[in-house]
Structure 1
C-alpha cells in the first residue's frame, strides 16, 4: 500500500495532512446500452446510446491532523469547505490525483467526507466523487494555437474540443471536411462541443448565429484531423480535451 495526493483548486490534500490510500478500488464506467426482448427471436435488440455512464469513485484518506487544527471538528469543517464547489450551482471540475500521471477526473463531491478518528491526531476519512466517464489529459485543457498541419488525436475516442476565435464578421471553420458557419461575430466567439454551445460569454449566447452540419458540434476523431478557418481573425486557438474512458 502507498499514498497519493488529491489536488483541487490548486490545493493539495496534504495541506490538511490527508493522504489518499493507494491503490484505489477503481470505479469503472460501462457503455450505455439498453436491451429490448423480441418475441420469437434469440437474443435481444441492442439499443446503443453511444455514450458511457458516470461513475462514483470512493476515496479513502489517512489523516495526520496538522498542529494548527485544535480538534477534528475544525479540521473537518475546513476540509469540507475546500472540497465544496465555489459556484452557485454544482458543476464538474478537475480533480487531480498524482498517481494518474497526466490525467484527471472531471467530478464533483457526491458524498461529503466522513471523519472516523483513530486517535487524538490520526483519522480515517472517506468521501465519494461523481465523475464523468472519461479521464481528461491535463495538457489538453490548456489553450493552444490551431495548427495549419493535421492535428493528431492520440486516443481511441472522439474528443469534444473547445474553440476560441478572436475577430469580427463571418467565419467558416472546416473540421475534417465539414463546414461550421458563424455569422456576425462581434469581437470573439467560443464553440464548445461538450456543452453544445456557441457564445461570446456564458451570458451572451451566439448559437442562433451558427449553422452546424446536421445540427452537430465538431468532434476530433482518433488519428489525423484537419482544421481550417476562413474570416477576419487575430487569434484561433482550442482546447482539444483528449479523453480516455474509465474502463
Structure 2
C-alpha cells in the first residue's frame, strides 16, 4: 500500500515513533470527543430537566486505524508483536503526539490490546488498530516543558480553559509566589521544591520525588495556582526573591478534546 499520498502519518509515544516499528496511522482520524459530567433530574409537570454541571469531563478512547510493515530486524511476526507490546507498555499516562497534529498532545495510556491482521499474501504487512485511553484535554506542546517565569511578570492564556501549571523552585529560606494577586507562601525551603497542580509540594533526590513538603507551603484558598482562560495573568515572586536561585513553571496550556 502507498503511504506517500498524505493519508498516513506517524505518532510519537513513550519516546518512539510508530514508524520505528513500520507503523503508520490513517490521517485524518476520527476523533472521539470528551463528555461532560452532568447530573440530570426531572420533575413531572416541568418541561426540561434540571442539570447540575460537575465541572469535569470523562476520559475518551481514541482509536487509530493503522498499516504496519514489519521491519526486517524482526525475524518473525511473533517477535515483531512482542516489540510493539513492549513499546506501548506502561502504568501511567504519557504524551501521545500525532505528527500531522503536532501543536497539541494527548495524555494517553494503553488499556486495550492493539490488533494486527496479517495480509494473507504478504507476511510482512498487516492492518489493525491502536487504542488509547486519553485524558479529556489536549496539552499544547509549548506548555509541556518547564520554562522560566515570564520576565514581564505577565502571561496571556489564549485557551478557553484555565491552565493549572506545575512549579519548580530552587531556594534557601522563605519566599512568596503571587499569581493574579493571590499569595502562595513557601517557608523554610532548602534546595529544590516542586509544586504540582494538585497542590502537593515535594523535594527531589536522585531524580525521584521523595519528601512531601506540604507543611512548608501555604496556598491561597488551599488550592494550587492557576492561570485564567482568555485573559492576561500576573506571575511574580513578590517577597524573598533574593532567596530563590531558580524559578520555573510548566504552564500546561490545554483545550477540550
Q: TM range, normalised to the smaller chain? A: over 0.9
Map 1:212-223 onto structure 2 (within 5 A).
212-222=219-229, 223=231
Match of 1:181 among 181, 185, 200: 185
Match of 1:67 among 56, 66, 72: 72
Q: 1:42-87: CA deviations, max 9, x gaps?
A: 32322111122110011121011112222211100001101111xx
Partner Cα distance (1:30, 1:235) in 2: 39
Q: 1:148-181: CA deviations, max 9, x gaps?
A: 4211112111001011111011221110011111
Partner Cα distance (1:38, 1:220) in 2: 39
In structure 1, list runs of 5 or more residues that go unmatched. none
Distance 1:171 1:38, change over 3 A: farther
Match of 1:208 among 212, 215, 238: 215
Map 1:33-52 onto structure 2 (within 5 A).
33-52=38-57
Match of 1:146 among 141, 146, 149: 149
Match of 2:252 among 227, 241, 247: 241
Partner Cα distance (1:40, 1:170) in 2: 60
Number of aligned residue pairs: 241
Map 1:6-25 onto structure 2 (within 5 A).
6-25=11-30
Match of 1:196 among 173, 194, 199: 199
- The answer on whether the counterparts of 1:148 and 1:227 sit within 8 Å (CA) in structure 2 is no
1:55 and 2:63 correspond? no
Partner Cα distance (1:164, 1:74) in 2: 42
What RMSD over aligned residues (CA atoms) do the two structures have, in Å? 1.5
Could you state the TM-score of these two structures normalised by the residue count of structure 2?
0.89
Runs of 4+ in 1 over 6 A off after TM superposition: none
Partner Cα distance (1:224, 1:199) in 2: 29
Map 1:25-174 onto structure 2 (within 5 A).
25-85=30-90, 90-118=91-119, 119-149=122-152, 150-174=154-178
In structure 2, list runs of 5 or more residues that go unmatched. 1-5
Structure 2 partner of 1:226 = 234
Partner Cα distance (1:163, 1:63) in 2: 40
- Shift of residue 40 of structure 1? 4.4
